A and B are shown apart, each in its own frame.
Chain A
Amino acid sequence: MALPSGLAEVVQGEEYVARFLFSSNSYNAAGVKWTAFDPNPVNGETSVFRSPSEIPESLWDAGRELSRGRVNSLHGAALLQAESVFDAGLRIVPSEPPAAHANINGWPVSANDPAMQKARRIELAKLLAQRATLVVTP
């Protein structure tokens, strides 16, 4: 069973995902910052796009399209292998349209201790950032 984009419904570990970066706050000279993967405070998910190991021009176009009407323009992307996301105990769930879009979810949730929940979330985001490659917009 395939998605409208033609991609498989289940994300495989050898695939890559790209997190588009629209703020210089998300990276520095050393690479991708953990805050690049900080989940959306509204839905608790991190929006990504499924990609080959090299981000194709069509995907950059999708990123530029997303930046239209937003506060900042597209700076680049944090690219990492899906396996790294799974290793952190997180999931990647396809969510089309747009084509190839997916969400990283499964971030720790604890109503009893939000501070500890957040500490765990930071640790996981740091792990993703450590394994991600910063790719500047061509």
Chain B
Amino acid sequence: MSSHVSVMTLAIGCATAAVGNWADSGISSEAVFLRESMQKVARSTELSQALFGLKASVIERIHALRDDCNEQGWDGYEALPMSKDAVCRAEAFMRALPTNLPMPELTAETDGSIALEWGTSPVRSLSLSIGTSDRLPYAWIDGVERGHAVAGFDGAVISPQLLGMIKGVAERGATVRAG
């Protein structure tokens, strides 16, 4: 239970920061209020659903990773600290991820982004980078095939194309399944 409370506290921190950004961008206070209320309802629902357990665990790991990578040069070179914005977006992405898909592994990136990884085999995997932009770069290797693309993410809906890619890699190699 304490871990759920911890996740909720951190999530509210992200929501507060995001509302600040939206307010700066000129969006009406009613819209901000509505969005905030919806987020509170969503969080309340999450905490009451057993299905959210695996997602909550990943979100906790996101915050743990941020703690591990919060100093410049955490990689022994000149990596930037993990960005708070990236953490919030990664959290939102996890909330939006359908529960029938495998949970990703997490990796910090040198530019302050966070990578979500499905299928950890060297010959079959997909890596999605979540940073400060609503355009998410991703790349995959599947046997001899490989490629890269960018998916938009508005904080709530994951593109069907990206979900299809994740599912494809997962069905041929990933492990952990939610639910």
Q: Which residues of A contact B (CB under 8 A)?
A: 20-23, 25-26, 28-31, 33-35, 38-43, 47, 66-67, 70-72, 74, 113-116, 118-120, 122-123, 126-127, 129-130
**Cα–Cα distance between A31 and B150 once the two chains are bound (Å):** 26
- The distance in angstroms between the C-alpha atoms of A35 and B121, with both chains bound, is 15
The docked-state distance in angstroms from the alpha carbon of A118 to that of B114 is 13
Instruction: Tell me the smallest distance from the CB of B57 to a CB of chain A, in Å.
Output: 17
- How many B residues touch A, CB cutoff 8 Å? 41
Known: A119-B129, A119-B139. 11 other contacts (CB 8 A): A22-B75, A23-B75, A29-B120, A30-B120, A38-B79, A114-B133, A115-B137, A122-B137, A122-B138, A123-B146, A130-B123
- Which of B65, B109, B138 is within 8 Å of A119, CB to CB? B138
- Interface on B for A, CB 8 Å cutoff? 65, 68-69, 71, 73-80, 105, 107-112, 115, 117, 120-123, 125, 127, 129, 133, 135-141, 146-150
| B127 and A23 contact, CB distance less than 8 A | no
> A35 with B122: in contact, given A22-B77, A25-B75 (CB under 8 Å)?
no
Pairwise interchain contact A119-B149, C-beta atoms closer than 8 A: yes
**A120 / chain B contacts, CB cutoff of 8 Å:** 139, 148
Given contacts A25-B68, A123-B139, A126-B139, contact A71 B73 (CB under 8 A): yes
| B115: contacting residue among A35, A43, A113, A114, CB under 8 A | A35
For the complex, give the distance between the alpha carbons of A34 and B122 in Å.
9
- Nearest to A129 among chain B residues (CB) is B122
CA distance A26 to B14 in the complex (A): 27
Which residues of A sit under 8 angstroms from B117, Cβ to Cβ? 33
Q: How far is the CB of B77 from chain A (nearest CB, A)?
A: 6
Q: Within the assembled complex, what's the spacing in Å between the Cα atoms of A129 and B79? A: 18
- With a CB–CB cut-off of 8 A, which chain A residues contact B136? 115
